[in-house]
Chains A and B, each alone.
Chain A
Amino acid sequence: DVKVTQSSRYLVKRTGEKVFLECVQDMDHENMFWYRQDPGLGLRLIYFSYDVKMKEKGDIPEGYSVSREKKERFSLILESASTNQTSMYLCASRLAGGKTQYFGPGTRLLVL
């Protein structure tokens, strides 16, 4: 069964902190994605990675960076968290060329 896991379901951080969100998939998928989901705005792509050590900016990369050192793991980093980064963060993975993106359960981040 397909599985995408995210390190935390809920996270509370302070402004200026460095935040790491981890995502792991067990399907040997090449492609991995980070989205944020906000009411009224839907899912917006932050970064995606089409393979190990490969990354590409999405629509809203400002204030974020990513790391993909191993195929199964894709990390999202908030270098200096700000209150406008309070959101639901969703990770997804997909087989290269496949139709379906498989999503994790999400991490709800609150930045105070």
Chain B
Amino acid sequence: QKEVEQDPGPLSVPEGAIVSLNCTYSNSAFQYFMWYRQYSRKGPELLMYTYSSGNKEDGRFTAQVDKSSKYISLFIRDSQPSDSATYLCAMKVGEGNKLVFGAGTILRVKS
């Protein structure tokens, strides 16, 4: 079983929809949770960074962590065609160097 599970999609939604992307994990020691966005033929870029449980909002994006359920989510409000990309969750234990990534979910927002 993988440490981090993420549905690869693709997830196809109409413009303006609310998008929910999710990851589950098995290692209860993870403390730091990230979402990266990767456009086609580009490297990933950090979108959201959260520590421990709770919500964090940044514009149209909200990251949610539920440590009791070992479940993290990324919500995108008012989705745009420019949001079409692969979204990767990542997490790590403490201040260590090693990130553990999910497989990535392909999102397509249709205009």
Contacts and interface: CB of A to CB of B under 8 A. Distances in A.
Contacts of A104: 43
Nearest to A2: B45
Nearest to A108: B41
| Interface size, A (range) | 20 to 34
A97 B95 contact: yes
Given A40-B103, A42-B101, A58-B98, A90 B6 contact: no
Contacts of A101: 46, 99
Contacts of A102: 45
Contacts of A40: 8, 103
B97 A48 contact: yes
| Interface size, B (range) | 20 to 34
A45 B98 contact: yes
A54 to B, nearest CB: 11
Nearest to B89: A42
A25 to B, nearest CB: 12
B63 to A, nearest CB: 13
A90 B44 contact: yes
Given A40-B8, A105-B41, A100 B88 contact: no
A101 B54 CA distance: 23
Given A103-B43, A105-B41, A42 B6 contact: yes
B43 A90 contact: yes
Contact of B103 (A41, A100, A105): A41
A100 B43 contact: no
B49 A99 contact: yes
Interface of A: 4, 9, 31, 33, 39-45, 48, 50, 56, 58, 90, 92, 97, 99-106
23 contacts: A33-B97, A40-B103, A41-B103, A42-B6, A42-B104, A43-B90, A43-B101, A48-B98, A50-B97, A90-B43, A90-B44, A92-B43, A97-B95, A99-B32, A100-B46, A100-B49, A101-B46, A101-B99, A102-B45, A103-B43, A103-B44, A104-B43, A106-B43
